[in-house]
């Protein structure tokens, strides 16, 4: 166990290092803030999220007008608890208090990068927790888990959409953490820590935590399906998992209730009808260097995407595992294009703006599929050629 803990720690640190380096290097090359003159504080980031963090800074330093209940700095005064629960309850948000009052934009940037790094570290830790116990398997290598963890943290949804919506990045962290809770539930371990992790995820950002919870439930169901065994025992695990989630949400209720009540009293906003993305655009967005605000940003690093595509062709992996993991990723991809499942992912309301906010779950599932492709050794030449041909066809 000490060796395993050390391996997972190295993988998590490696994933975080790659993520921070890539994000900062990209912004430096683009001459974006804080490495150049181009500002990030536009649209919602500049008009809502940075000012909300400034309000939190004032509260932390005892200089805010009003308090937790009322914010006199917005309009003619507005209730603050719902905004606090929606935007500022992430543990990372407290770091804003360490920066000068006139550098709140820098604080938000640092918080954004740290959240992405934490997401990569959490995914790397999860992958090694799911690893097959085969000494000759690449899935026993900490650096492979680190690279795939960073690939998840740097997925298209993260760098294009969530980097300008910092509270969404808590969902990017929550998905691998909640999948890790699912691993504990399967093993009957950590009955206290599990609900606490669920509560932390829902407190940090309830909206994306809801999507991450759905994704983690799907992963748990696939794991139980592959485990086999007595049906009664698998049902018992599902019941234990449901209890863990409900208890965690119950612990988060003091933060969630003001948000729910505030939403109910809010003035009706702009409602839009869901429109699926064109299939050519949907497939194009699986490739890097693509952009579109109303299409799903599903691209990953080329290596991870190739491994995920190779999985169905890799005969080293048992057929049931190939079918289960590839089918799960494919099913989630299709669910984003069908209105009933689209509404299920988004708590039964088509969101304003970007309509594919659950895409980070699909990215996480593709990374897990890539990891499963390596669970029984490096794929051979034929599956690699088949996967490459499929990606070329998509291109």
- CA 228 – CA 297 distance, rounded (Å): 35
d(CA 176, CA 125): 8
* 23-48 average pLDDT score: 92
Residue 338's region, left for phi above 0, alpha for psi from -120 to 50, else beta, is: beta
| pLDDT over threshold 60, residue 384 | yes
Q: Is the pLDDT of residue 97 over 70?
A: yes
Least-confidence region, from 4-13, 135-144, 276-285: 135-144
- Tell me the β-bridge partners of 32: 38
Give the pLDDT mean for 73-83: 83
**pLDDT tens-place string over residues 124-144:** 999 999 876 555 566 568 899
* Percentage of the chain exceeding pLDDT 70: 95
Mean pLDDT of 8-31: 95
- Mean pLDDT in residue range 339-348: 92
Give residue 181's pLDDT.
Answer: 97
Q: Which helix (H) or strand (E) holds 78?
A: strand 78-79
Interval 131-160 mean pLDDT: 83
Of the listed ranges 65-79, 226-240, 334-348, the least confidently predicted one is: 65-79
pLDDT, residue 359, reads: 95
Looking at residue 1, what is its pLDDT? Answer: 53
Q: Is 337 exposed, middle or buried (0-12, 13-18, 19+ CB in 10 A)?
A: middle
List the domain boundaries for the chain. Answer: 2-394
The pLDDT score that the predictor gives to residue 67 is 82
Query: What global pTM score does this model have?
Result: 0.95
Average pLDDT of span 19-32: 95
pLDDT tens, position by position, 241-264 = 999 999 999 999 999 999 988 877
CA angle 337, 172, 15 (to 5 degrees): 125
**pLDDT for 4 beyond 90:** no
* pLDDT for the residue numbered 141: 83
Mean of all residue pLDDT scores within the chain:
91
CB 373 within 8 A of CB 305: no
Please, where are the H alpha helices in the chain? 2-29, 43-44, 50-60, 81-87, 104-129, 142-153, 156, 169-187, 193-204, 206-227, 231-265, 279-284, 302-310, 319-335, 339-345, 359-373, 381-394
Q: Choose among 218, 192, 217, 213: nearest CA to 202.
A: 213
**Which residues neighbour 4 within 8 Å (Cβ) at sequence distance 6 or greater?**
128
Provide the pLDDT for residue 140. Answer: 63
Q: What tens digit of pLDDT does each residue of 287-335 get?
A: 888 888 888 988 888 789 999 999 999 999 999 999 999 999 999 999 9
* Among 14-18, 78-82, 161-165, the range of highest mean pLDDT: 14-18
Q: Has residue 273 got a pLDDT over 90?
A: no
pLDDT class for 207, splitting at 50, 70, 90? very high
Mean pLDDT of 369-387: 92
Tokens of 335: 């669910």
Per-residue pLDDT, 68: 85
């Amino acid at each position: 166990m000490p060796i395993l803990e050390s391996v997972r720690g190295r993988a998590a640190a490696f994933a975080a290092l790659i993520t921070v380096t890539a994000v900062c290097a990209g912004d430096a090359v683009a001459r974006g803030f804080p490495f150049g003159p181009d500002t990030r504080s536009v649209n919602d980031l500049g008009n809502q999220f940075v000012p909300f963090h400034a309000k939190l800074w004032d509260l932390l330093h005892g200089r805010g007008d009003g308090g937790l209940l009322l914010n006199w700095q917005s309009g003619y005064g507005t209730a603050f608890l719902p905004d606090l629960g929606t935007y500022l309850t992430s543990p990372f948000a407290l770091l804003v208090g360490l920066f000068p009052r006139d550098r709140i934009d820098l604080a938000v940037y640092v918080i954004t990068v740290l959240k992405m790094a934490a997401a990569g570290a959490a995914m790397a830790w999860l992958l090694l927790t799911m690893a097959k116990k085969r000494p000759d398997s690449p899935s026993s290598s900490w650096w492979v888990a680190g690279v795939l963890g960073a690939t998840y943290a740097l997925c298209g949804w993260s760098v294009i959409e969530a980097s300008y919506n910092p509270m969404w990045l808590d969902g990017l962290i929550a998905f691998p953490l909640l999948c890790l809770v699912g691993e504990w539930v399967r093993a009957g371990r950590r009955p206290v820590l599990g609900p606490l992790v669920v509560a932390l995820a829902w407190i940090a950002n309830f909206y994306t935590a809801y999507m991450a919870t759905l994704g983690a439930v799907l992963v748990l169901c696939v794991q139980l399906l592959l485990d086999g065994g007595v049906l009664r025992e698998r049902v018992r695990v599902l019941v234990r998992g449901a209890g863990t989630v409900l208890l965690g949400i119950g612990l988060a209720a003091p933060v969630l209730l003001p948000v729910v009540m505030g939403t109910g009293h809010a003035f009706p906003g702009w409602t839009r009808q869901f429109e699926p993305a064109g299939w050519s655009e949907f497939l194009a967005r699986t490739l890097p260097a693509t952009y579109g605000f109303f299409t799903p940003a599903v691209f990953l690093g080329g290596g991870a995407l190739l491994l995920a595509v190779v999985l169905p062709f890799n005969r080293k992996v048992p057929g049931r595992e190939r079918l289960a993991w590839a089918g799960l990723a494919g099913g989630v991809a299709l669910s984003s294009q069908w209105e009933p499942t689209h509404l299920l992912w988004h708590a039964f309301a088509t969101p304003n703006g970007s309509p594919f906010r659950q895409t980070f779950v699909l990215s996480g599932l593709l990374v897990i599929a890539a990891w499963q492709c390596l669970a029984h050794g490096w794929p051979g030449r034929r599956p690699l050629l088949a996967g490459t041909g499929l990606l070329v066809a998509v291109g």
